[in-house]
Amino acid sequence: MSLISCYAAQSATAALSPYKIERRKLGENDIQISIEFCGVCHTDIHFAKNEWGQTHYPVVPGHEIVGIVAALGTNVQKLKIGQRVAAGYIAGSCQICSSCKAGLEQYCLQGFTAIFNSPANDLGGFTYGGYSKSIVIDKNFVLLAPTGLDPAGMAPLLCAGLTTYSPLKHWGVKPGMTVGIIGLGGLGHLAVKLSHAMGAKTVMITTSKGKAADASRLGADEVLISTDVAAMKAMENQFDFLLNTIPSPHDYNHYMGLLKVDSTMCIVGSIGPTSELNTEALVYKRRSISGSFAGGIREAQEMLYFCAKHQIVSDIEIIKMDQINEAFQRIQKNDVKYRFVIDMRSLS
C-alpha cells in the first residue's frame, strides 16, 4: 500500500512537519478524496498541542475538507470520479441510535468517529485528518460540493459554517427577529452572514470598536460594543436569540440581560468551565442558556446548499502546507481575517 504525504505533530511541543501515513484500503462503501483545500480551525491547534488531553500521536489535524473524488467503492452509486465533494469533522457514527436516525450524528449515543484522532480500524489505529494529500471516508459522511462556490472559501463552512448554521436553524431564526452574534472571529463572521441571509436583524456584539466597519461589510445591521455600559443598558430585553461564538472563558452573564422573555443564548465555543451562572437573569425573564455542537450530515448538506443560494463563503487567507506552523501562531494572536485555508496541492 502506498504512503500518503501529510503534515503531523509528533508531540505536544513539536511543530507540525512532513510525515507519511497509510490509509485504509478502499471499502465497498468508501470514497477516496484527493484533497484540494483544508481549512485551519483552532480545534486543530488544541489537538496538535494536546490542550484537551485527548491527543494520540502522531496526529494529523484537518476537518474542513474540499476535494475531488479519486476512487469509489463498489456500493457507491451517486457519485462519480472527478466530482467535487466535501467532508467535515464527523466521519462515522453508529447510524442506529435515536440521534443518528434523527440526522444528529454529532450527538450519536454511542459516540461519533471524528475525522482525525478517533479510534478506528484504519491503519495506525486512529483516524488521520485533512492535512494530507488524500483521505478515505465512508459514503454516508461525504457531502456534495455545490457548484458556484469558491472551493477554498467553502472549506471553513464544513466546521465554522455548520457550527453556526445549526443553532441559527434550530432556534428558528427568520425575518422579524433580532439576533445578536457575540464575537467576530472565524465562527462569528460566518454567523453574521448566515443570520443576515436568514432575514433577521443582525447585531454584531463585540468588545472592539475597530471591528464595526468589518461587521457592517459582512452584513450586520448594527454593532453593539459590549464594553459600553450605556449601550448595553439601552439594548436590554431586545434580542430574540444570541449566538455566543467567543472561544475563550468569559463572563456570559454579561449578555443575558439583552434577551427578551423566553429567549435563548446559545454557546458554541468549547471553553470548558467558566464564570458562575447568575440564575436571576434566567428566572425573572424565563430565559435559557444552551449549547450546540457542529451539525449532522443532512444539516451540513442543507447548509452548503443554503450558502450556495446566498453566495456565502468564508473570508480566507490561503496558505501553503509548509506555512501551517506560522498560521497556528497567528491564529493564537487573532491575526487572521477570518480563516486560514491550506492549498493542499502545495503538498508534495
Quote the CA–CA distance of 3 and 325 in Å, as a whole number.
23
Cα 108 to Cα 37, 119, 161, 334: the distances in Å are 28, 15, 20, 33
Range 148-170 average pLDDT: 97
pLDDT digits (tens, 9 = 90+) for 234-279: 999 999 999 999 988 888 899 999 999 999 999 998 777 777 888 9
Range 197-216 average pLDDT: 93
Quote the CA–CA distance of 47 and 61 in Å, as a whole number.
7
pLDDT digits (tens, 9 = 90+) for 117-148: 999 888 789 999 999 999 999 999 999 999 99
pLDDT digits (tens, 9 = 90+) for 34-76: 999 999 999 999 999 999 999 999 999 999 999 999 999 999 9
- Residue 195 pLDDT exceeds 90: yes
Interhelix angle 160-170/297-310, rounded to 10 degrees, is: 100
Largest Cα span, the chain: 65
- pLDDT bucket at 215, cuts 50 / 70 / 90: very high
**Average model confidence (pLDDT) across the chain:** 95
Domains of the chain: 4-158+315-346 (3.90.180.10), 160-291 (3.40.50.720)
Range 167-183 average pLDDT: 98
R_g (Cα) of the chain, nearest Å: 20
Range 4-9 average pLDDT: 97
Give the CA dihedral 290, 294, 300, 304, nearest 10 degrees. 90
Residue where the block lists cell 476535494: 67
What's at 342, amino acid-wise?
I
Close Cβ partners of 155 (under 8 Å, ≥ 6 residues apart)? 37, 38, 39, 64, 65, 66, 86, 314, 316, 341
Quote the CA–CA distance of 172 and 220 in Å, as a whole number.
18
322 within 8 A of 129, measured Cβ to Cβ: no
pTM exceeding the 0.85 threshold for the entire prediction: yes
Residue 1: the pLDDT is 54
Range 225-241 average pLDDT: 97
- Within 10 A of 8 (CB to CB), how many other CB atoms are there? 22
